[in-house]
Amino acid sequence: MFIWLRSLAFRRTINLPPPALLALSYAILIVIGMLALELPVSTHHGIAWGDALFTAVSAVTVTGLGVVDTGSAFTTTGQAFILLLIQLGGLGIMVFAVLILSAMGLPIGMSHHVFLREDLNQTSVRELVRLLKVILWVVLVCELGGTALLACVTVPEFGWQTGLWQALFHSISAFNNAGFALFPDSMVRWANNPLVNFTIPMLVIIGGLGYSVIADIFQLRQWRRFSLHTKLMLVGTAVLLVGSTVLFAVLEWDNAKTLGSMASAFDKWQASWFQAVISRTAGFNSINLAEMHDNTTLMFISLMLIGGGSTSTAGGIKVTTFIILLLATLAFFRRQQRIHAFGRSVGLEQVLKVQALVVTTLLSVMFGVFLLTLTHDGEFLNLLFEAVSALATVGVSRGITGELDQLGRTIIMLLMFIGRVGPLTLGFFLAMQVPPRVRYPASQVYLG
């Protein structure tokens, strides 16, 4: 399906598919954000255009990678611009547009539904307004609730005005899985604070589950009536959280540069929980990630590739994609023709979509790392970590973002943009069913 967009400049009709128009919207938002961050009121001493562009791309794609310190380089006005870019990029431009139209009592046309369907990764235009109402309530409750909880930590330390602003900034950043922080060391100063180690991860988890899952939970409240997607997301998320927390603790427990320097076992488990949650979605850190063991770093990379849930603010190939991939592999070894889970089956079409998404992601990572090795002569594991963090819109770094030259930063920006709008474009083409005109006889291909 295509959207006819009237061009005011040339007075002619432009034929654009919905994903292309959404990608163009994100690109326009990035340019506007860059211009806003270059205003004299946005920074204390001014920043280069390249730094403003990188920050705008990172904010709109809700990644969190940065080449300048957000807290010291930008004024409160500049930080507010970044927060607005995060909110718009995290929830989607079309989500905001339809919410505004609904609030004004204006009719929502089919074109808006098509845009929204692509932005929320939905296969049907039905029930979209209902889903939007759920999104609005969840956003308000989570972000304001997170602000109230974090204010209990920031206000006593920084005062009412600064403390409330920091609480609001980090709450919105966490819920949108952006990972932007107002401190150079991110959350390291609160690595031993139970309230922060609970609030930030819970905001990240809720924002990364996906709005379709949250809508199921809010409206059905019964496990047997949940959709297969919701069941896979809840079980997969729980297993990944528990497994990654335990594995992170085991691998880093005696590392004096990470968990080993912490005073108590409770503090070590807090930090392990925090990083296990953050590793798949958001760019906060409560320890020095550059000092992790290589095996922990590889685990981190794997979790970043998996990411969060569909119709969420998280990136990666998504949890359900990873689970379907595992189930398809298991079905192959069992000589089964179909995939079964929770009394439901998954067809071959879904498996082919999973394959396309995984292969596209892996090829993008390989190509991105290859280009980074041409521009930056650094440790390969750090470059791989940076590329995956950008493509999966996670935003964690081992400290090489600021060391990259302009070409290297351009590669990272492209990876962030692809990671945000790429799945939308890929999902659109996967959703287009074109019946074959010619059928060919089957033949044998030797594999393995």
User: Range with the lowest mean pLDDT among 86-95, 97-106, 216-225, 287-296?
Assistant: 97-106
Q: In degrees rounded to 5, what are phi and psi of residue 382?
A: -65, -40
Residues 6 or more apart whose CB falls under 8 angstroms from that of 376 comprise 383, 400, 403, 404, 405, 408
226-233 long-range contacts (CB < 8 A, ≥24 apart) are 228/341, 228/342, 228/344, 228/346, 229/310, 229/320, 231/341, 231/342, 232/319, 232/320, 232/323, 232/324, 232/341, 232/342, 233/209, 233/309, 233/319, 233/320
In a domain, 293, yes or no: yes
In a domain, 229, yes or no: yes
In a domain, 447, yes or no: no
CB 387 within 8 A of CB 365: yes
The CA distance from 274 to 258, in Å, is: 13
The predicted model scores a pTM of: 0.86
Residues 6 or more apart whose CB falls under 8 angstroms from that of 217 comprise 226, 230
Through-space distance between the first and last CA atoms of the chain, rounded to whole angstroms:
39
Among the ranges 78-82, 98-102, 113-117, 174-178, which has the highest mean pLDDT value?
Answer: 78-82
357-374 pLDDT, tens per residue? 888 889 899 999 999 998
In a domain, 440, yes or no: no
What is the greatest pairwise CA distance in the chain? Answer: 74
Helix orientation angle between 194-209 and 211-219, rounded to the nearest 10 degrees:
100
Instruction: Give the pair of three-digit tokens for residue 299.
Output: 């685990």
pLDDT surpasses 50 at 230: yes
231-264 pLDDT, tens per residue? 889 999 999 999 999 999 999 999 999 998 888 9
Domain count, the chain: 1
In a domain, 6, yes or no: no
Structure confidence at residue 166 (pLDDT): 95
**Residue linked to tokens 């431009």:** 93
Structure confidence at residue 193 (pLDDT): 92
Task: Give the pLDDT band of residue 223 (cuts 50, 70, 90).
Answer: confident
The CA distance from 242 to 155, in Å, is: 32
In a domain, 1, yes or no: no
Q: Where are the beta strands (DSSP E) in 333-429?
A: 339-341, 344-346
Helix, strand, coil: what percent of the chain each, to 5?
65, 5, 30
Average pLDDT, the chain: 82
Residues facing residue 43 across a β-bridge: 74
pLDDT surpasses 70 at 432: no
In a domain, 398, yes or no: yes
In a domain, 340, yes or no: yes
Structure confidence at residue 134 (pLDDT): 75
CB 397 within 8 A of CB 300: no
The CA distance from 216 to 226, in Å, is: 6
29-75 pLDDT, tens per residue? 999 999 999 999 999 988 999 999 999 999 999 998 989 999 899 99
Structure confidence at residue 39 (pLDDT): 93
10-27 pLDDT, tens per residue? 334 445 666 677 778 889
Structure confidence at residue 9 (pLDDT): 39
CB 181 within 8 A of CB 172: no
Domain extent for 391: 14-430
